[in-house]
Homo-oligomer: A and B are copies of this chain.
């Protein structure tokens, strides 16, 4: 490269290696060397050396067909990372559960989906099955809609354009205009509801994690429970609590 930005570079081989990993993920998790070269714009020789190193380390795996896939070690690291995320969020989520009595979740925006990274289950015996690490669509979940509501309108529109609005339950919002209105309203109101749009019988209040340092961090909190316990009065009562939790988590992330 002749003219890149003067100084914002860190360790370049590292940035490139992770670029390869990300490209591989975008390419569906499996790709040949030349596909990676095309995707990253690097010379074949360079990519090969990078990739060989990653294979040696166990973060990439080479198939008999000589193509490459993501390796097992990444699963472990990712899991550890998800747990770690849970750790700092845990106190805030636990407080939510204590105040509200329903399961609280933290999710991150990853690509065009939301991924759950932390959870504190409700004390009730009738629990919710939100698994850590699970990925869900953004358009039919509380956390997903909360994540979108915190994004610039153009960006959230782009995501919706890519994923579409497939119906998951009878109450899933499938009309683009109605969905845009929902997001816009959530943006000004600060929280969003999920009326059984992902799973019938489950109501959910969600709010984005907002704050100075949350820019890169696209996260959202939610509280969800069965419709029987989540009546309108309850929702009205807990919405501010969820919003406050989002702010608190944002402050934790922000730091400084």
Interface residues, chain A, with chain B CB atoms under 8 Å away: 10-11, 13-15, 17-18, 21-22, 25, 29-30, 49-50, 52-54, 56-59, 61-64, 69-85, 87-88, 108, 110-111, 115, 117, 129, 131-135, 216-217, 219, 253, 255-256
Contact = CB atoms under 8 A, between A and B. Distances in A.
B29 A80 contact: yes
A76 B54 CA distance: 18
A76 to B, nearest CB: 4
Contacts of A135: 79, 132
A52 B10 contact: yes
Contacts of A132: 133-135
Contact of A15 (B53, B70, B75, B76): B53
A79 B112 CA distance: 12
Q: How many copies, total?
A: 2
Contacts of A134: 131-133
